[in-house]
Each structure stands twice: as C-alpha cells, then as structure tokens.
Amino acid sequence: MKLELGYIYIKDIQFGETSKVENGIIYVNKDELKSIILEDQNLKSVEFDLAKPGESVRITPVKDVIEPRVKVEGPGGIFPGMLSKVETVGSGKTNVLKGAAVVTTGKIVGFQEGIIDMTGPGAEYTPFSKLNNLVMICEPIDGLKQPEHEKALRFAGYKAAAYLGELAKNITPDETETFETLSVTEGMKAYPELPRVAYVLMLQTQGLLHDTYVYGVDAKRIISTLIYPTEIMDGAIVSGNCVSACDKNTTYHHLNNPVIHDLFEQHGKTLNFVGVIITNENVYLADKERSSNWSSKLAEFLGVDGVIISQEGFGNPDTDLIMNCKKIEAKGIKTVIITDEYAGRDGSSQSLADADVSANAVVTGGNANEVINLPKLDKVIGHINYVDIIAGGFDGSLHEDGSITVELQVITGATNEMGFNKLSAR
C-alpha cells in the first residue's frame, strides 16, 4: 500500500471573511465554521481563538489536538468511520496543513486533561507550542453526561480539522513524501538481508473516557490485528481519551506517529519495516492475556526479528506493556519498549507498575512527576480554574498571581510514549 503525503507549510493563521489557504496562511471564517459545529445539539456554544508560537498564551483544559488533512486521491476520506464512510484508507494522495492544528477546550470533561503554553518553560515540553493553533472553546448543554460531552468535543475537533483540510484540497504541496508497505512475500524478496521489524502500537482502551477508535470502532472491542502504517497516517486511528495529558496520544500524535516515520526512514536501509500490530489496553486480566497472546502470535506469524512496542498511559497499562514484551521475547523476537515514568517527584520511586527481566531495552519519555513552575501568561484560552484538579495539579497549584506549580503530567505531550517529545534519560 502506497500513500503520498503532500505538505503545505503553514506560517500563520488568521480570521477572515473567506476561509482559504493562501501563501502559507490559513484564513478562517468563524461564522461559517461555527454553524457547522453547532449542528451538534449537545453543544450550547462554540467560540474560536488563535494561539501562535511565542505568544503569551495558555490553553487549558486541553482535550485533543488534531492536524488538518484531506484526501486528494484514492479511496475513503479523512477520519473514516467518524466523518467519512468506512473505506480502507492509506493509499493515494493526502494533503496536510503542516504547522497547523485544531485544539479543543472548554468546560472540563474528565480530570485528566492538559495545558499547552505557547511560550515560557512550559512551551519547551509540548510540540504543540510550535504550531499555529485554531482553538475551539466548546461548552456543552446543561446536564450533559460526560460520555456525550466527550463525544461532542471529539467530533467538533474532527469537523473543524476536516473543514480546514478541505481548504487545501486543490493546492499544490510545498513538499511531497511517499510511504509504501509491501506485502509480506514481496517484502521478504525485496530485502532478504535486512532484519524484519514490526511495530506493536498499544491503544488506550480502559474505558470511562479512556478510549481510542479504529475506523470508528472503540478499540476495546477489537482483538490484536494488523494494519498498514499508512492507514494510521490517513486518520484510521483517533483519540477519544482523557488520560493524563503528558502521555496522551492525541489524534495529532496518531497522524504523525514518530515511530512509524522513523521506521519508514530506515526501511530498506538498516531494516525491513513489515507493518503495525495494533492491540488494546483493557482492564481485566483475561482481556490482557488475550490481547498480548494475539500480539505475540502475530509477531511470530510475520516472521519478524524485532519489535518496537509503545504504550499509552501508566499504571494498569504497564501490565499490558510487560505482557506484550515478555511474550514476544519468548518467541525469540527482540523487543524495545517505549514508555515514560511515574517515579515520584525526586525520581527515586519505582518507574513502572510492572517489570520483567526480558524488558531490558527501554526508551523512556521522562518522569511525569517532575515539578515545574509555569509563570503567569498574558492570556488564557479556556478555563484556568481547573488547574488545581487536573491530573498533575493539586490544591494550591494555581497561585494568586496567575502562575502555576504543577507536575509535568499536566502538560499535553510532555512525556509522550511514542517519543514525540524532548525528554528522555540514560
């Protein structure tokens, strides 16, 4: 399967009378977009704001971040099973508004939501401070239950991202990259001398606002399966969860999964990138056993020499991570796991809730319990009063002068377990 991504580099975003992309600038007609978003009767209101790199702006509580993309050629549309009908995506041509994002915020859905600072020390911990962000402040109707509230925000983000993406459908990209995954037999013939490597992508599926969707299906309902990496680049997997902000895989993370990009970069050079095994992170032991059994079985079936495993979340999912690792290692397949740590504020506590001697090759995204002081910024988009209760905050986090003392856990993407961040350890 072959996918061509056309990058249209965005240097600014502004409001305007006509929505368009011109000379690297996105212009957004707020009224037109508002009418689309408010078709959802579960939303009482929606307002839009802009947050650009270097501005003295804080966004909180952050629900999701989505990159605008649009199908130009090939089957399906962006976010299949959500906005587009269920067709297999991952081939043809897709245009990307690179350097832009849609950020959803508003009244808090769950306590595990985050902060994006566009400048200052907090901006150094999140990749989203480097983007030109259209921020949506969505307020639900009175009395709306949390699952419906989460869904309303989720779809509002997809709709806004698709709306922006459509503006680039007929634009010639500034740069184009092509990604291709061969069939198993073709791949073996093409690179017989290179080690075969697969990627086991663990999806957050613990429920109670801890959900990820694959072609519109809640991933807790799937068994471990195979997927082309290019399908993920085309929006087949989206975030629906409210896990701790630091290691949440937003929809933006899935679309730009750095493990996939790095494996493609080395494909045909140092390794043969076979494809992606997706698996879930359920709560009950029987479900964990089933999913990890299937992950290891599929890795063996593909005849791979090595596997990279990334998780999402911490605590309960650490068990899934270690199960996947040790069962795949038991098949004679080498593994590298990507995680982050909750090692206490001084870094001296046990980093993961589970461990095994076979997990001897580990990449860490940093310690989420590390404390950071965030200075007051000139503007807050969203609701600052939730800082004391979101995960990583505490009673007294928000100071009278507007500054904040929190754990890194509150910063969206700070310790991302795909490695989409700047932190690590040796």
Helices (H), 306-421: 316-330
Tell me if residue 325 is catalytic.
no
The CA distance from 411 to 246, in Å, is: 5
Distance, CA of 243 to CA of 213 (rounded, Å): 14
**Residue 121 and residue 333: Cα distance in Å, rounded?**
41
Query: Which residues, listed in sequence order, are joined to residue 6 by a DSSP beta bridge?
Result: 95, 176
Active-site position among 138, 242, 246, 325: 242
What is the rounded CA–CA span in Å between residue 158 and residue 77?
12
CB atoms within 10 A of CB 71: 23
φ, ψ at 374 (rounded to 5°):
-110, 120
Identify the bridge partners of residue 198 per DSSP, sorted by sequence position.
Answer: 275, 307
Which residue type occupies 200?
Answer: V
d(CA 309, CA 328): 10
Q: Which residues pair with 391 in a beta bridge?
A: 393
3-state secondary structure of 287: helix
Tokens of 158: 């997809």
Contact 105, 59 (CB under 8 A): yes
Which residues are catalytic, by number?
Answer: 242
